[in-house]
Structure 1
Amino acid sequence: VGDVADVTDVFADTESGVIRGALDSGGKVTAVPLFGFDGLVGREIQTDRRLGTELSDHAKRHGAGGVFHTDELPAYGVTEAEVDALRDAVGAGEGDAVALVAADPETADLAIEAAAERAETAIEGVPEETRGANDDGTTRYLRPLPGAARMYPETDVPPVEPDPSDVETPELLDEKAERYAEEFGLDAGLAEQVAFGQRFPLFEAAVERGVDPTFAASTLESTTTEIRRDGAPVENLTDDHFLALFDLVEDGDLAKEGVPEVLTTLAENPSLSAAEAVEAAGLSGVSEDEVREAVVEVVERNADQIENEGMGAFSGLMGEAMGALRGKADGEVVSDVLREEIGKRS
């Protein structure tokens, strides 16, 4: 099989309807010499199907109407003089055949290359391809077998040439973790947990709403991990659950210390709203007077320890005070009141 050539000039004055129509539409004629193929392209290989039919089937996959070949020419308006000139143009001898395609420039190039490749395959043996059954019991070419040959080019869809400049370069996970640490002040470990986790879009949405980044990140990663280990079905928690919970904390309607219990309640009862879960968990916010009342009880119960240790008793009593309030009050508020009450007695 020789090299593909542009033979449009050979048919400049042709009266062949097919070729004339292609040229008048701005197309061209391409041809390939098939050395030693004279008489073989027109030979019947199945009932009413010839090797030329196989070449034509491959050309059609690229949009051409088919191929002409010298085993059937002169015919179809192509003259004997044009056949002789065609042979001369591609360097075909007496024992050679020539196949040609007339179509728009791109189709003509692709189709003749496809026909040439099929001719080369005929020399090697039976082609590896998917074939369709005809009603008369013969078969026809459909497409290459799956694999590299099928993918270049893809045979089931038209080729698409993407413009890389139109594609936004995605942020790598390592880059996202570094950005979270720098932009939101998260420690490296927590930033990596969020960036590599499934809830990073929810984290970004929460921060955009004004939620403290560290609180949002620790809730989405650390707190959910803790309650999952305790048996809570965290897969039931939705983005809306978390966002509503964050709003309650930001509005002062729920202490941060109560978040694990409310999340557990929501996970076990996903039909509840966040506010309803707070009520169900008995964690509705308390006033500062109620906080002070609970703290005073703890302080008076541990009066001897305070007398002996003074402010050194703070850490132990803080845990006891938070336990008494069961997450109903913010830790900072409890801390301030406790320090004040210890100060009064030491």
Structure 2
Amino acid sequence: MSVIIRESGLYTSIQDLGRQKYQHIGIVKNGSIDQFNHRLANMLVGNNEDEALIEMTFKLPAIQFTEPTLIAFTGANFPAYKDNEKITPYKIHLMNKGEVLSFGEAAKGTRAYLAIAGGIVAEEWLGSKSTSIRLQMGGHNGRILQVGDEIEMCRNYTSLQKKLFENLEETKTADWGVDQYTLALNYFTDIFHVVSGEGMTHFNEAEIKHLENQVYKVTNRFNRTGLTLEGKSVINRKIVDQPFLSVKKGTVLLNQENQPVVMLNDHQSLSSYPQIGTIASYHIDKLAQKKHNSKMIFKKLTIQEAELNLKKHAQFIKQIKTGIKYKLNEELNK
């Protein structure tokens, strides 16, 4: 049995955590842009964190279920409906046969993640089910999902998932979930920490301070490759003899107009554009939730400062995951 795409949304695709070992030969990682919310959605329904799911962007799809299954959706706070009943993100829901999951518009944020208990069937390429739109590989026929597409469910349920089916037979929704307010404090701030990289040597202290004093806005040129920003030019000169440097998710480049461009998952491997640095790893996932006209403010940090913040962020994530595991264990023992 399957789930059926009744409305495709703007950019709906199958993603896991991406291809990990091929960027050195020019094959981009792909995978979910917001990997933290990817992991949370899978954890809630008892899947492995790296299980493939459905990434939904800006205008979300309508999806019909052809048999009962467990779902969880995370990410931007899109209003969600099971048929005509409003339901809540960051919780486990039991979808019955024939029911349709649909979404309204989110006031903040851009992407949401739908995990289905047991996982979904998708084409695997180079060890990943992630969709590579550019190469038309992986996921569902190597493309974004369209109206009428049917995605098979694996249905390889664990004992925990079988117990969740039983526990939610009457209530349809778990009485617990992840606190959205706590996540919002982490996700919807506009400040992004930038760690110095090899390319930072091209910029003097006055230029870096100028960058930190600006407020940039996301233009309508944003996709899975990157975010192009607009505001005052970072520098008023042209950097010559810039060597090709490696690029990764979070790398901040300057385009020909000296405006910042922040790389996302489907980035190129090398670039000769000047590089300001790289977004600190603990701020990477919130890049996924930036939309047209949203603000970004850069703050330069040393590697040592970023490492201290990373430890705090890791503890924050650990607490959330520990809470989910504790509640799932309670469900298993009911």
| Structure-2-length-normalised TM-score | 0.20
Bigger radius of gyration, 1 or 2?
1
Larger RCO, structures 1/2 (Cα 8 Å, 6+ apart): 2
